[in-house]
Structure formats: structure tokens, C-alpha cells
């Protein structure tokens, strides 16, 4: 082998080694980029799954009782509009005691007094517990405009969340509306009107007039007479009503 041939061979070997090194380096970069992309993608999936799981509204159950769905409702008044007596409940959608009262007292009230035409039942939606109360009360005014206030209230109670946790979202309201026969879009639109605000203002002024400062407060009125407090709290409504009507 001549010197020239040996020089050419060394150059070729050096260039081959450089190409091999370049190939290895490029492959390392490719693997690093792909690995990075897979890691980012995996992290994104985990974040999305966790966010979805924690953000899911809890499954909506049906109303605890179906006591209100079969009764005539007009403008939020349950029962015969010409009934001699009016029972008014001052409530807050977020109030757990109101939920308790709805389960323990309202079925009997409806069965023995509303269904028989002796009493008509209406609600005043207070909203002092927080923003979730206000959101729910305004939406409920929209349900009331559709003649579905009480089924909506019952279904809401059956799915009541942690107070002021921000659970009264559009999705939550949509689920409650769907399960109580309320047209969500119409109720949502109504909730933005002055009519919805007026319902809240009326509740506030009526509560102030009779001194109702906690929920639930139940009052009784005969015809256009004076409204008086029957009971405050989750129990005792039926007994108090029996006494008042037999007096």
C-alpha cells in the first residue's frame, strides 16, 4: 500500500467515524425529543383525568320524594289557589335544615292539607348563606315561571352539596333541571331578568316584615289576614298547623 492509499484510508476511516458519531448524536436527540413529548402527553392526560374527576358534579339522584310533582302549581303556589289558608316557607336552597324539613314535614303537609284543598303552600327564597344560594334562588324563579318550582326544589335538596363550595354551577343546575322537568335554557334566561331579582327582593322584604331571620321558617295566613309564624326549624310544623287550624 502506498502512502497516498494509506492517507486516503485514514481519511475515510475518520469520516466514517464522524458520520457514525453524528448518527448516534442525532438518534439521541430524537429519542430525547420523543421521550419528552411522551412525558408531556402523559402528564397532560393525568392532569386532565384528575381535573375531570374532581370537577364532576356528583351523580344526580331523583327527588327524595315525589310529593310535589302531582300537585297543581301556579306561580310558585302549590295547591288550590282558592284555599283558605296559606303556609309560606322561608327557605334557603343551601340550608341543610330546610332539606330536613322538606323530607320530614312537607309530605304530610301536602297529603293532609294541600291535597285536600285546606292549605296552599308557597315559598320565599332567601339567599343569605352565600352566592350559591343566590344563583339557585334566581334559577328557581325561572323554574317557578314554568310551574316547576317545587319539583325543582325537591330535586335540588336531594342533591344538595357542601355549603358555599361553588357547586351550584351551570352543569349542576342543568342536571337538576333535567331531573325535575324544568326547561334549563328558559329558566337560565329568566334568572338573568329583573323578574328573578324581584322574587329575591320580595322574599327579603316579606321575611323582614315578619321577623324571619333563620330558615326554615313556616308562617300561616288566613285569606288576606295577618301572617304569623307557625314554627322555625325542621320539625313541629304539622303539630303547629293542627293547633292553629283547630283553634
Q: Does 27 bind another protein (CB under 8 A)?
A: yes
Q: Does 12 bind another protein (CB under 8 A)?
A: yes
Which of the stretches 13-21, 64-72, 81-89, 133-141 binds another protein when contact is defined by CB under 8 A? Answer: 13-21
Q: Does 20 bind another protein (CB under 8 A)?
A: yes
Rounded distance, CA 25 to CA 33, Å? 12
The nearer residue to another protein, 1 or 247, going by C-beta atoms, is 1
Instruction: Report 128-157 residues binding another protein (CB under 8 A).
Output: none
CB of 16 to another protein, least distance (A): 4
The distance of Cα 215 from the centroid of its chain, to the nearest Å, equals: 19
First to last CA, the chain: 130
> What cell numbers appear for 96 in the block?
341543610
The CA distances from residue 67 to 111, 115, 150, 228, in Å, are 8, 10, 9, 25
Q: Does 31 bind another protein (CB under 8 A)?
A: yes
Rounded distance, CA 214 to CA 16, Å? 88
Sheet holding 85-92, edge to edge: 73-74, 77-78, 119-126, 85-92, 217-222, 228-232
Q: Which of 6, 7, 24, 201 binds another protein (CB under 8 A)?
A: 24
DSSP designation for 99 = H
In DSSP terms, 8 is beta-bridged to none
Q: How many contiguous H segments (helices) and E segments (strands) does the chain have? A: 9, 6
Q: Does 30 bind another protein (CB under 8 A)?
A: yes
CB of 184 to another protein, least distance (A): 12
Q: Which of 16, 32, 50, 61 binds another protein (CB under 8 A)?
A: 16
Which of the stretches 33-41, 99-107, 117-125, 206-214 binds another protein when contact is defined by CB under 8 A? Answer: 33-41
Q: Catalog residues that contact another protein under the rule CB under 8 A.
A: 9, 12-13, 15-17, 19-20, 22-24, 26-27, 30-31, 33-34, 37-38, 41-42, 44-45, 48-49, 52, 56, 171
Amino acid at each position: 500500500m502506498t502512502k497516498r492509499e494509506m492517507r486516503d484510508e485514514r481519511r475515510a476511516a475518520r469520516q466514517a467515524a464522524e458520520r457514525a458519531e453524528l448518527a448516534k448524536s442525532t438518534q439521541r436527540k430524537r429519542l430525547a425529543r420523543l421521550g419528552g413529548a411522551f412525558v408531556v402527553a402523559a402528564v397532560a392526560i393525568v392532569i386532565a383525568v384528575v381535573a375531570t374527576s374532581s370537577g364532576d358534579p356528583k351523580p344526580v339522584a331523583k327527588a327524595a320524594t315525589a310529593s310535589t310533582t302531582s300537585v297543581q302549581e301556579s306561580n310558585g303556589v302549590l295547591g288550590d289557589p282558592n284555599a283558605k289558608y296559606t303556609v309560606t316557607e322561608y327557605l334557603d336552597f343551601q340550608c341543610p335544615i330546610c332539606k330536613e324539613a322538606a323530607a320530614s314535614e312537607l309530605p304530610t303537609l301536602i297529603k293532609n292539607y294541600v291535597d285536600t284543598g285546606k292549605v296552599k303552600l308557597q315559598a320565599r327564597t332567601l339567599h343569605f348563606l352565600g352566592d350559591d344560594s343566590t344563583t339557585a334562588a334566581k334559577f328557581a324563579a325561572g323554574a317557578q315561571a314554568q310551574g316547576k318550582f317545587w319539583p325543582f326544589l325537591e330535586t335540588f335538596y336531594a342533591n344538595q352539596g357542601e355549603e358555599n363550595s361553588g357547586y351550584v354551577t351551570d352543569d349542576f343546575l342543568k342536571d337538576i333541571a333535567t331531573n325535575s322537568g324544568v326547561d334549563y335554557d328558559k329558566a337560565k334566561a329568566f334568572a338573568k331578568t329583573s323578574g328573578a331579582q324581584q322574587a329575591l327582593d320580595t322574599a327579603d322584604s316579606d321575611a323582614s316584615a315578619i321577623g324571619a331571620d333563620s330558615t326554615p321558617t313556616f308562617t300561616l295566613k288566613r285569606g288576606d289576614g295577618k301572617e304569623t309564624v307557625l314554627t322555625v326549624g325542621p320539625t313541629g310544623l304539622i303539630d303547629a298547623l293542627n293547633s292553629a287550624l283547630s283553634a
